[in-house]
């Protein structure tokens, strides 16, 4: 092909094209010629349609576009989703330390000893023990952590990533799920960075997850992995923790970040880290956020803390707050609240968080009405609720209604008078004829020690468990049967299954 002379009506040579300062799209010169060989003459329309784009031209255009981008506008390749999520959540991750550790026996004794005893043996007496991590879930300084981190502590201290330290109070705990809620003792009006909750079932198998912690007060710690399982079950039926569907990850979870958050790449809380499997290599577990939200709504409630019955469960982490369960015979149920309702206002104010809402309920007690504004679909509704003492409904009368047996708490004085020293449970005072209790051959002065494997030491709690049973559903009772033999009392053990009324 003949080389064109300068001045002809054709495209300039490649160096000339590169030097041209005229603008095409986006300030880039648009070249329509190949990068090698002679420059073509004007081709016919048919020849142009037969031509193919040259990949080398596209590469040059990409390089030119990158070079024309201002330096300040170029993205930092290091600032990926992981870095963004960590920077968003890390201010809410705290270290948990205690001044004293109380020697007690509980279902988590083996876990506690396996993970922390070597650390204790290296510490001097009368010093603080850094036991793990936690995460702030409310701007007023409420922190979630593991029960095994704070459950046996007389004094709790919280250290923030910025170095500030505060004493904290244990507010509510659940040893069964290994979850505890503590509150930072802060100045009036002081606010803290809080983590956001992910949706209950917003989990993707194989997604990238991050285990954050503040181990031993030395600063933030991050380990990265994937979500290996959403439904990991305990290997045996004798597990001390009541968590059926663990989150499993290969992100390292150790005593230092036990109690800290497991988050997704959006910076949302998907679980609370728990170190539970000694035999596993690179395997970590976390309590899923759904179970965390459920147990938090139970342990931080007027029912659990004050013995007052509201009767509706609200999911923590949602905004606006959503009601997830309502007991039909409760004050909330009688006021017309339903699962799915959104709480818009309480006493004229929008609740800032679940903690704020529960605090308003606790402050009202059974002395003041609660004026609620609810969103139900497209409708707005108003409701008035007044809490009542739980004992006004969950009492011995309810137990008798469900089982056909009258019971009373076995106080130390009553136990001593019956020769049942150091025994706890519910004493059967009477049995109705033709009742489920009578058919199970329950008798007076037998002692109910457990119901479905849970201690039966309190009438209110036992009545609440029975109230949750449907008609005909069976409940398992463990009994102590005292048998008088002269001046001696022999205690026999028995287990019976009773279908409730």
pLDDT tens track for 113-149: 555 444 444 445 444 576 789 999 999 999 999 998 8
Q: How far apart are the first and last CA of the chain?
A: 101
Q: What is the pTM of this model?
A: 0.76
Q: List C-alpha distances in Å: 206 to 152, 203, 213, 315.
A: 36, 9, 22, 26
List the single range of 58-62, 261-265, 342-346 with lowest mean pLDDT: 58-62
Q: What are the DSSP E strand ranges found in 77-120?
A: 93-98
- Residue 108 to residue 259: CA distance in whole angstroms: 14
* Chain segment 302-328, per-residue pLDDT in tens: 999 999 999 999 999 888 999 999 998
More confident site: 488 or 170: 170
What pLDDT does residue 66 have?
56
* Chain segment 18-70, per-residue pLDDT in tens: 444 444 444 444 444 444 444 455 555 555 555 555 656 656 566 556 556 56
Residues written for the chain: 501
More confident site: 119 or 157: 157
What pLDDT does residue 233 have?
67
Average pLDDT over residues 196-205: 93
What three-state secondary structure class fits 408?
A: strand
What three-state secondary structure class fits 98?
A: strand
What pLDDT does residue 22 have?
46
Residues labelled catalytic: 148, 178, 258
Confidence bin at 485 (pLDDT 50/70/90): confident
| pLDDT above 60 for 280 | no
What pLDDT does residue 3 have?
46
Bridge partners of residue 143, in order along the sequence? 136, 182
List the single range of 40-49, 77-86, 414-423 with lowest mean pLDDT: 40-49
More confident site: 277 or 11: 277
What pLDDT does residue 494 have?
94
Confidence bin at 100 (pLDDT 50/70/90): low
- Residue 95 to residue 471: CA distance in whole angstroms: 48
What pLDDT does residue 45 have?
54
| pLDDT above 90 for 452 | yes
Contact 90, 220 (CB under 8 A): yes
List the single range of 14-23, 250-259, 377-386 with lowest mean pLDDT: 14-23
Average pLDDT over residues 267-283: 78
H and E: helices and strands count for the chain: 14, 26
Domains of the chain: 14-72 (no CATH), 80-300 (2.40.10.120), 304-390 (2.30.42.10), 394-499 (2.30.42.10)
| pLDDT above 90 for 1 | no
| Local structure of residue 409 (DSSP, 8 states) | E
Average pLDDT over residues 289-314: 95
What is the overall mean pLDDT for the chain? 83
List the single range of 192-196, 282-286, 475-479 with lowest mean pLDDT: 282-286
Percent of the chain with pLDDT over 90: 59
1-5, 20-24, 364-368 — which one is most confidently predicted on average? 364-368
């Amino acid at each position: 092909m003949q080389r064109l002379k300068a001045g002809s009506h054709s495209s300039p040579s490649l160096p000339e094209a590169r030097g041209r300062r005229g603008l095409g799209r986006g300030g880039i010169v648009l070249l329509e010629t190949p990068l090698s060989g002679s420059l073509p003459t004007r081709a016919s329309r048919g020849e142009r349609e037969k031509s193919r784009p040259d990949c080398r031209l596209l590469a040059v255009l990409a390089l030119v576009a990158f070079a024309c981008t201002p330096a300040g506008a170029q993205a930092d390749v290091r600032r990926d989703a992981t870095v963004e999520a960590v920077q968003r959540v890390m201010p809410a991750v705290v270290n948990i330390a205690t001044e004293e550790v109380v020697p007690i026996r509980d279902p988590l004794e083996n876990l506690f000893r396996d993970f922390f005893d070597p650390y204790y043996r290296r510490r001097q007496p009368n010093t603080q023990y850094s036991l793990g991590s936690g995460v702030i879930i409310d701007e007023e300084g409420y922190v979630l952590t593991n029960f095994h981190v704070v459950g046996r502590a007389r004094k709790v201290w919280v250290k923030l990533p910025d170095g500030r330290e505060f004493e904290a109070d244990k507010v509510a705990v659940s040893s069964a799920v290994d979850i505890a809620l503590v509150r930072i003792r802060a100045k009036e009006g002081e606010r803290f960075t809080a983590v956001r909750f992910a949706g209950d079932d917003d989990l993707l198998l194989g997604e990238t997850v991050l285990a954050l912690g503040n181990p031993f007060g030395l600063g933030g710690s991050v380990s990265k992995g994937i979500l290996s399982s959403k439904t990991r079950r305990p290997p045996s039926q004798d597990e001390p923790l009541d968590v059926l569907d663990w989150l499993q990850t290969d992100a390292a979870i150790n005593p230092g970040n036990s109690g800290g958050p497991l988050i997704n790449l959006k910076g949302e809380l998907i679980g609370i880290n728990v170190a539970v499997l000694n035999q596993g290599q690179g395997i970590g577990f976390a309590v899923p956020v759904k179970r965390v939200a459920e147990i938090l709504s139970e342990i931080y409630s007027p029912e659990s803390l004050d013995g007052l019955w509201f009767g509706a469960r609200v999911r923590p982490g949602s905004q606006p707050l959503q009601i997830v369960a309502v007991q039909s015979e409760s004050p909330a149920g009688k006021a017309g609240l339903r699962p799915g309702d959104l709480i818009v206002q309480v006493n004229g104010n929008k609740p800032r968080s679940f903690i704020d809402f529960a605090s308003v309920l606790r402050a009202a007690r059974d002395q003041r009405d609660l004026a609620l504004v609810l969103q139900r679909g497209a409708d707005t509704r108003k409701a008035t609720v007044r809490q009542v003492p739980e004992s006004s409904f969950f009492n011995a009368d309810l137990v008798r209604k469900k089982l056909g047996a009258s019971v009373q708490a076995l106080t130390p004085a009553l136990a001593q008078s019956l020769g049942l020293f150091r025994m706890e449970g519910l004493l059967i005072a009477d049995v109705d004829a033709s009742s489920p209790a009578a058919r199970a051959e329950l008798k007076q002065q037998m002692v109910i020690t457990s119901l479905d494997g849970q201690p039966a030491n309190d009438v209110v709690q036992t009545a609440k468990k029975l109230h949750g049973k449907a008609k005909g559903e069976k409940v398992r009772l463990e009994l102590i049967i005292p048998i008088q033999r002269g001046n001696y009392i022999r205690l026999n053990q028995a287990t019976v299954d009773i279908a409730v009324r």
